[in-house]
Structure 1
Amino acid sequence: MIVDLLYYVAGLMLIAGALFSFLAAFGIVRLPDLFTRMHTASKAGAVGSGLALLAIALVSFETAVIFRALLGIIFFMLTAPISAHLLARAAYIAGYRPAKGLVMDDFEKSDHFRK
């Protein structure tokens, strides 16, 4: 009974993870500039893969698999935002600017990125 419930919850988590991954891929194709594309790829991609790994951890009854899945989730949640931030900073320094529809560009007047 409980095992069947875990399978249903894991299935829903896999569907939600696939939806987040699809939204990340859709955002990469449809969003206007590098920065918004990177944002959707890092956030939605990390959540989608985290949900898929959590579903694997739920249905696996082996401690080693659960431990590896949880380590994978921690790895995604720690590295995706940091790498997106560093790539966005490097792109801004290299001369890429946000799309014209952006309301505010805080770095435009800042001397922090000028070297």
Structure 2
Amino acid sequence: MTNILIIILSSLGAIFILLAAVGFVRMPDAYLRISVTTKAVTLGVGLILASAAIYFDNLSVTSRVLAIVLFIILTSPVGAHLIGRASYFSGNKLWEKSVTDELDGKYQPNSHRLSSGEEFEDEDEKRKKKIKERDLL
């Protein structure tokens, strides 16, 4: 019975990793590729590690598998977010059929600052205002 469970889990894990590879090739922009690979690979690796824990049936192996799966679940979304953020800030374009750009108008490329919805003033305009205020005083 455990052999069947091991085969099912490892096969499902391999299928999810294969789907992540196919999705990486098929998706039109970097942001969708990041999303597909992060989700599918995390699930695929988790299933393969679960099958390894069942196969070895040892407490030390199972505890290591749980630690690795927890580490992957915690770090994979953070890494994907940072890659996506760096990609957006470096000027990587969205897919032309994307419906919305949530960061449009909220990012100032000169200072690399984000706004929470309020428009930015250019740094030059701020300097000019400060100079005018000093001149008026």
The answer to which structure, 1 or 2, has the higher relative contact order (CA under 8 A, 6+ apart) is 1
Same fold by TM-score, threshold 0.5 exceeded? yes
Specify the structure having the higher radius of gyration (Cα).
2
**What SS does structure 1 have at the residue aligned with 2:57?**
coil
- 1:61 is aligned to 2:57: yes
TM-score, normalised via structure 1 length: 0.90
Matched AA of 1:56: A
* Percent of matched pairs sharing the same residue: 32
Letter in 2 for 1:49: V
Whole-angstrom CA distance in 2 between matches of 1:34 and 1:59? 37
Match of 2:69 in 1: 73
Aligned counterpart in structure 2 of residue 43 of structure 1, from 24, 39, 45 = 39
Secondary structure of the residue aligned to 1:85 is: helix
Structure 1 residue 65: deviation in Å? 0.9
In the TM superposition, residue 64 of structure 1 has moved relative to its aligned partner by 1.1
CA-atom RMSD in angstroms? 1.2
Partner secondary structure for residue 100 of structure 2? coil
Q: Unaligned regions of 5+ residues in structure 2, if any?
A: 112-137
Residue by residue, what CA displacement relative to the aligned partner does 1:55-84 show, whole Å, maximum 9, x if unpaired? 111122211111111111111111111100
For residue 41 of structure 1, report the CA deviation from its aligned partner.
Answer: 1.1
Matched, 1:95 2:53: no
Query: Structure 1: which 4+ aligned runs deviate by more than 4 Å?
Result: none
